[in-house]
Amino acid sequence: MKALLFHVNIPRFLVIQALRPISTAFCYKGPFSTVKLADVPEPALPSPQWVKIKTRLCGFCGSDLNLILLKDSPTASPFTSFPCVPGHELCGRIVETGKEVQDLREGDFVTIAPMLNCTTRAINPECRSCREGRPANCENFAEGAFAPGMFIGLCKDINGGFAEYVVAHRSQVYRVPPNVPPEAAVLTEPLAVAIQAVLDNRPTGQDKVLVIGGGVIGSLVVKTIRALDIPCDITVAEPSPFHADYVKKSGADRVIGGKLIEEAPGITGGRAYKPLLGEKILMGGFDRVYDVVAHAPTLNAALRITRTSGTISVIGIGKDVKLDLTPLWLKVQTIKGAYAYGYNESAEGQRQAFQMALDMMGEGKIRVEDMLTHLFPLQDYRKMIAVNMHKTANRAIKTAVRFA
């Protein structure tokens, strides 16, 4: 079957690092490209507890772009294996079920939670994270039945969604409600990320909230807060006028261009103080911050404009950053990591954020299909990458590969 294959080794890594200052296109074009269209074997069911899915749509994530451009931190490399077929945001139809799968049938239209945790890796007993309802933060990503990989698309043994077929353990598979179109179902995974981030740092109705970054995840954070009927004040920092317009329509009270420290006093009522050297620091400020960018400038600014005892959720996947920790100890703030999704307490008991995302879309509480602005056939992957590198110029929010 045709698939987008990613591969890198140390010599190729060094060559691309040398060529990238000339043009980032070397990362996905030419003899040293990290990705190529390839013929790979169609996957077989690893065990009777798995199903095979014919891919309909696979979304292109910012983490896919970072992978292809070799911008990821090497710290995560023990939990990946190459060559691999990327793509973890997908939907499609089941074409084969294992003998032990009773609750799913051929023909079901589904999406999958892509994490390769203890259950999928046939590890028993489960690790502490899996037992505590956070299987996406499993401690065994490099153990068990398969090669290392946090999720499908980063594991050489289990291909991702940039291929005609994928396999998934029955625990990963969720039926798509009949009134949720494929163009919305393909965004289930990023919506689940946003839902979990909000539930882990849930605002009250009186809070002043800041979202740094108004792209896909930033807009979904805003949509989630509003879908949960939280009437808090939401500010989004987003320099792109195109994305700013969309996130404002998603429920933000205001969008600012990026001068966070200058704008924060007027929004929050905080008082700004100028140190002998460096940026101002606020007393008072935002109650909760969701940093979807997570680079040194945004994180340092977030610390300075978050109030005493406020909480900052780091959703973006940044690399090494240098932080002035003075605001952290001076204002006894909390910084929370935000990654993927798990089980959460609700009126109906424990519910997976992935299922909550599907339910919210099915009930009409969140609309996401309008975020899917560009669709590409697999062979046009280079064009898709180029569009994602210049989203504002291309008026792109979310892009995806569409299979016949």
pLDDT at 380: 98
Confidence band, pLDDT 50/70/90 cuts, at residue 12: confident
- 5 phi and psi angles, rounded to 5 deg: -105, 130
Q: Is 136 helix (H, G, I), strand (E, B) or coil?
A: helix
CA distance 359 to 344: 14
Flag whether pLDDT at 340 surpasses 90: yes
Pairing, β 109-112 against β 173-175: antiparallel
User: Percent of the chain scored above 90 by pLDDT?
Assistant: 91
Tell me the H-state helices in 228-348.
241-249, 260-268, 296-305, 326-330
Per DSSP, the residues of 191-239 read: HHHHHHHHHHTPPPTT-EEEEE--SHHHHHHHHHHHHTT---EEEEE--
CA distance 370 to 212: 21
Radius of gyration of the chain (CA): 21
Please give the average per-residue pLDDT across 271-277, as a whole number: 96
Burial of 126 per CB tally in 10 Å (0-12, 13-18, 19+):
middle
Confidence band, pLDDT 50/70/90 cuts, at residue 13: confident
Please give the average per-residue pLDDT across 367-395, as a whole number: 97
Cα-Cα-Cα-Cα dihedral sign, residues 133, 139, 143, 146: positive
Q: Is 188 helix (H, G, I), strand (E, B) or coil?
A: helix
CB atoms within 10 A of CB 3: 27
User: Percent of the chain scored above 70 by pLDDT?
Assistant: 100
Flag whether pLDDT at 402 surpasses 80: yes
Confidence band, pLDDT 50/70/90 cuts, at residue 147: very high
- Element (H or E) spanning 90, and its range? strand 89-97
Confidence band, pLDDT 50/70/90 cuts, at residue 58: very high
The answer to whether residues 127 and 118 touch, using CB atoms and an 8 Å cutoff, is yes
Flag whether pLDDT at 258 surpasses 90: no
Cα-Cα-Cα-Cα dihedral sign, residues 360, 366, 369, 373: negative
Average pLDDT, the chain: 96
Least reliable range by pLDDT among 186-190, 318-322, 361-365, 391-395: 318-322
pLDDT at 17: 86
Confidence band, pLDDT 50/70/90 cuts, at residue 343: very high
pLDDT at 20: 84
- Element (H or E) spanning 343, and its range? strand 343-346
Confidence band, pLDDT 50/70/90 cuts, at residue 36: very high
pLDDT at 10: 85
Confidence band, pLDDT 50/70/90 cuts, at residue 90: very high
Confidence band, pLDDT 50/70/90 cuts, at residue 126: very high
Flag whether pLDDT at 319 surpasses 80: no
pLDDT in tens, 65-85: 999 999 888 889 999 999 999
Please give the average per-residue pLDDT across 364-371, as a whole number: 97
Flag whether pLDDT at 160 surpasses 90: yes
Pairing, β 50-60 against β 398-402: antiparallel
- Smallest CA-to-CA distance from 104 within 171, 177, 192 is with 171
Complete domains list, the chain, with CATH? 2-187+368-402 (3.90.180.10), 194-337 (3.40.50.720)
pLDDT at 375: 98
pLDDT at 387: 98
From its phi and psi, is residue 41 left (phi > 0), alpha (psi between -120 and 50) or beta? beta
CA distance 176 to 101: 17
CA distance 289 to 203: 10
